[in-house]
Structure 1
Amino acid sequence: MSKDLEVAGRYANALFQVAQDKDLVDVFSEELTELKAALNANKDFVKLLENPTFTTEQKKNLASAVFEKINPTLRDFIYLLIDRNREDYLSVIADVYQKRVNDLRGVADADVYSVIPLSEQELTALSRVFAAKMNKTKLNIQNHIDKSLLGGVKVVIGTRIYDDSLKTKLKDMERQIKA
């Protein structure tokens, strides 16, 4: 685990604990998702927030103006990050926090690779089958197009890969023939 992810993980876990204690898990999840989207959309703001020539107070004032509508506890958390010069971790913290929320709800993210876009029915069927395999209640599936698969699908959930693509089957046949 990289040092950055480790640090962000500690902050995200602490924030998650506070959210659970205050029954704000869903509120923080939604607001962090919006916050991350805003940060990704406005790189100039991020540069200002990370600018070392700005004082902590200036950064807090800037954050206060931009994040005025978020939950006060979450705003205080952002101030804490600014106080500790960790504001550049916000996006990663949001990702780790969302993973904790998903774990709590029994939800996992899955990447499904196919040659053509899959229909909603196919995605739902894959979600149901693989959620059961992973002991999850639901999978959030992202369908990616990969023409090199030739056919079939490849499902990636965390570190697990389920490859039922024609490409892999042909490679397996080739290995068996050569053996």
Structure 2
Amino acid sequence: MTSHKAIVSGISGRYAVALFELADAAKALKEIETDLVTLKAMIEDSADLRDLVVSPLYSRQDQQKGITKVAEAGSFNDLTQKFLGTLAANRRLDQLLPIVASFEKLLANHRGEVSAEVTSAQELTKTQLADLTKKLKSAIGRDVAIEANVDEALLGGLKVKVGSQMLDSSLKTKLDNLAIAMKGVQ
């Protein structure tokens, strides 16, 4: 397996590695993954929870009480609950979303998957995502986990980023390149 340092870095990476290794040792990777996906959705859906997690105005005790209630409400695994308590105690709840992202990278690497960031002008349908996943898998030779994003400024087409490689076939980029080429004609 590739070194964790090659996959994630920084404070969020260190916490994600610690959680990953504890979950792996406890044979609870799937449960922790489910908890983190649920928690990420909860944070995205609730402005109050997002504020609790990122605002330095809440005291350590308030953050611990709040995140404990959230973990209990979500029926999270004991390891997840302890981890969230540790983050609150260390005043690192503001790193929670980057930690989740780093954990997802570690998990994908553990499964032998490659992560691909796909940005499109409109939300892709399940069929389009399945087709894209299949094509990327055949091109790369490994399973691909797609993180789909929408950016209406692209106008059309896709931007696909796999590792350090990027394929930009967006209409916006093509128009920008055309404008640059036209300036050279004048």
TM class, shorter-chain normalised? 0.7 to 0.9
User: 1:133 aligned to 2:139?
Assistant: yes
Match of 1:85 in 2: 91
- Let me know the Cα RMSD of the aligned residues: 3.1
Contiguous gaps of at least 5 residues in structure 2:
1-8
Match of 2:105, as an amino acid? K
Match of 2:118, as an amino acid? D
Q: How does 1:1-179 map to 2 (within 5 A)?
A: 6-49=10-53, 50-52=55-57, 54-56=59-61, 58-68=62-72, 69-105=75-111, 106-111=113-118, 113=120, 122-140=128-146, 142=148, 144=150, 146-147=154-155, 154-163=159-168, 167=174
DSSP 3-state at the match of 2:12: helix
Number of corresponding residues: 165
Please report how far the alpha carbon of residue 157 of structure 1 lies from its aligned counterpart in structure 2 after TM superposition: 2.1
DSSP 3-state at the match of 1:67: helix
Query: 1:102–1:108: 8 Å Cα contact kept in structure 2?
Result: yes
Please report how far the alpha carbon of residue 107 of structure 1 lies from its aligned counterpart in structure 2 after TM superposition: 4.2
Query: 2:60–2:88: 8 Å Cα contact kept in structure 1?
Result: no
Please report how far the alpha carbon of residue 133 of structure 1 lies from its aligned counterpart in structure 2 after TM superposition: 2.9
TM-score (norm 1): 0.73
Q: Structure 2 vs 1, CA of residues 53 and 33 (structure 1 numbering), >3 Å: closer, same or farther?
A: closer
Q: Structure 2 vs 1, CA of residues 6 and 117 (structure 1 numbering), >3 Å: closer, same or farther?
A: closer
State how far apart, in whole Å, the 1-side matches of 2:25 and 2:19 are. Answer: 10
State how far apart, in whole Å, the 1-side matches of 2:115 and 2:32 are. Answer: 19
Identity %: 23
State how far apart, in whole Å, the 2-side matches of 1:41 and 1:154 are. Answer: 26
State how far apart, in whole Å, the 1-side matches of 2:41 and 2:146 are. Answer: 18
Pick the structure with greater CA Rg.
1
CA-to-aligned-CA distance 1:13-61 (integer Å, 9 cap, x gap): 11001111111111111111111111222222343454545343x4323
State how far apart, in whole Å, the 2-side matches of 1:126 and 1:93 are. Answer: 27
State how far apart, in whole Å, the 2-side matches of 1:45 and 1:122 are. Answer: 33
